[in-house]
Structure 1
Amino acid sequence: MRFDKIKDKIKDLKLIGKGWRGRVYRGIYEGKDLAFKVASDPQFIPNIQKEGKILKIVNKEGIGGRLFLTGEDFIAYDFIEGKPLNEVINEKNGRIIISKLLKQARILDKSGINKEELHRPYKNVLVDKNLNVYLIDFERARMGKNIQNVNQFLQYILNEGYKYLPPFDKNKLIELAKEYKKNKTEENFKKILGLLGIED
C-alpha cells in the first residue's frame, strides 16, 4: 500500500514537517490522530521502512510514537502533541526530563539500537504538557555493535544539560562515562544516575 492510495481517506491532512528524506503529515485515519512519514523520493523508501521496523522494537519498551500502520513508502504513528526539547526544558523541569531521557537511552543500549543524535537532542525529542518525553526520527538509527546512546546523551549533559541539574563533578562524570562505555552494566549505569542525583 502506497501513501497515494490512502491519501484521500485521511481527514484534515496537513503537511507539518519537511526533511531531506521525508515529509511528515498529520491527519485523521480510521478515527486515529496520526502522523504520516512519507519518503520524499523512491531512494529513501528503505530508510522509511527501516524506521518502521525499529519503531516496532522500541514501542515494546514504551519508546517513540506508537506505530499504527506501515506502507510501501510511509509509516503512520500516533501523533504526539508535544514541543521540541529545546523549547520546553528549563531549570524547573530539566531534572525530570533529563532523567527520563537518560533512562530511555539506557533501554536503547540494552535493545542494541543506536538512535544517533542524542548528543544534540533538540528537535528529535518531543515533550508533552505532562513532561512525558518521546524520541522521534529513527530513520538514522541502526542496530548492531558499538551502541552509544547513554554516552551520546552524557555529551549533551556535559555541554549543556548540566545547567538543569544539581551541581556535580564533570570530571567524575567523564570517568564514569568511560567505564560505562567499556562495560555497559546496570551497576555502571546506576553510578551515573547517582552522580547526577537522579533516582533509579
Structure 2
Amino acid sequence: MKFDDIKHKIQELEIVGKGWRGVVYKGIYNGKKLAFKVASKKEFIPNIKKEGKILKAVNKKGIGGKLILEGDDFIAYEFIEADPLIKVINRENGKIIISQLLKQARTLDKLGINKEEFHRPYKNVLIDKNLKVYLIDFERARQGKNIQNVNQLIQFIITKGHEYLPEFDKEKLIELAKIYKKEKTDENFKKILDILEIKD
C-alpha cells in the first residue's frame, strides 16, 4: 500500500512539514488524527522504513508518536497536539522538561538507539499542554555502538539548557558525563540526575 492509494481517504489532509527525505502531512484516517511521513523520492523509502522500525522499538517504552500504519513508502503515527520545545521551555518549567528528556535519553541509550540530535533538541522535541515531552523525527536515528543520547543532551545543558535550570556545578557535570560515557550504568546516570537535583 502506497500513500497515493489512501490519500483520497484522508480527511482534512494538509502538509505540516517538509524535510530532505520526506514530507509530513496531517489528516484524519479511519477516525484518527494522524501524521503521515512520506518518502519524497524512491531512494528515501529505506529511510522511512527504518524510522518505522525504530518507532516500533521506542513505542514499547512510551517514547515517540505511536506508530499506527506502515505502507510501502510512508509511515503514519498519532498526531501529537503539542508545540516545539523552543516555544515552551522557560525557567519555570525547564527542570520538568529536561528531567523527562534525560530519562528518555537514558532509555534510548539502554535500547542501543542513537537519536543523533539531543545536542540541539529545539525542533525535534514537542511539549504538550501538560508539559509531557515527545521525541519526534527518528529519521537520523541509528542502532549500534557508540550511543550518546545522554551525553549529547548534557552538551545541550552545558551550552544552553542551564539557563532553564537551577544553578549547578558545570565542571562536576562535565566530569560525571565523562564517567557515564565510559560506563553507562544506572548508578552513573543517577549521579547526573543528583547533581541537577532531579528525582530518579
TM-score (norm 1): 0.99
Q: Which residue of 2 aligns with 1:195?
A: 195
Deviates more, 1:183-192 or 1:163-172: 163-172
Q: Which amino acid aligns with 2:14?
A: K
| Whole-angstrom distance in 2 between the partners of 1:75 and 1:43 | 15
| Whole-angstrom distance in 2 between the partners of 1:12 and 1:101 | 32
Shift in Å at residue 129 of structure 1?
Answer: 0.4
Q: Secondary structure at the match of 2:16?
A: strand
Query: Kindly, what percent of the aligned residue pairs are identical?
Result: 73
| Whole-angstrom distance in 1 between the partners of 2:15 and 2:194 | 43
Q: Which residue of 2 aligns with 1:89?
A: 89
Q: Which amino acid aligns with 1:139?
A: E
Instruction: Please list the CA deviations of residues 13-33 of structure 1 after superposition, one character each: whole Å capped at 9, or x if unmatched.
Output: 011111111000000001110
Q: Which residue of 2 aligns with 1:36?
A: 36
Q: Which amino acid aligns with 1:155?
A: Q
| Whole-angstrom distance in 2 between the partners of 1:13 and 1:164 | 37
Shift in Å at residue 189 of structure 1?
Answer: 0.2
Q: Secondary structure at the match of 2:187?
A: helix
Q: 1:179-194 residue pairs with structure 2 within 5 A?
A: 179-194=179-194
Instruction: Please list the CA deviations of residues 117-172 of structure 1 after superposition, one character each: whole Å capped at 9, or x if unmatched.
Output: 10000100000000011000001000010000000000000001111111111000
Q: Which residue of 1 aligns with 2:112?
A: 112
Q: Secondary structure at the match of 1:101?
A: helix
Q: Which amino acid aligns with 1:83?
A: D
Q: Which residue of 1 aligns with 2:165?
A: 165
Q: Which residue of 2 aligns with 1:46?
A: 46
Identify unmatched segments of 5+ residues in structure 1.
none
Say how many residue pairs are matched.
200
Q: Verify: 1:12 aligned to 2:12, yes or no.
A: yes
Q: Which residue of 2 aligns with 1:98?
A: 98
Q: Secondary structure at the match of 1:65?
A: coil
Q: Which residue of 1 aligns with 2:178?
A: 178
Q: Secondary structure at the match of 1:192?
A: helix
Q: Which amino acid aligns with 2:150?
A: V
Identify unmatched segments of 5+ residues in structure 2.
none
Instruction: Please list the CA deviations of residues 59-84 of structure 1 after superposition, one character each: whole Å capped at 9, or x if unmatched.
Output: 00000000000001000000000111
Shift in Å at residue 48 of structure 1?
Answer: 0.2
Q: Which residue of 2 aligns with 1:155?
A: 155
| TM-align CA RMSD | 0.4
| Whole-angstrom distance in 1 between the partners of 2:150 and 2:193 | 11
Q: Verify: 1:74 aligned to 2:80, yes or no.
A: no
| Whole-angstrom distance in 2 between the partners of 1:166 and 1:193 | 13
Moved over 6 A (4+): none
| Whole-angstrom distance in 2 between the partners of 1:177 and 1:103 | 14
TM-score (norm 2): 0.99
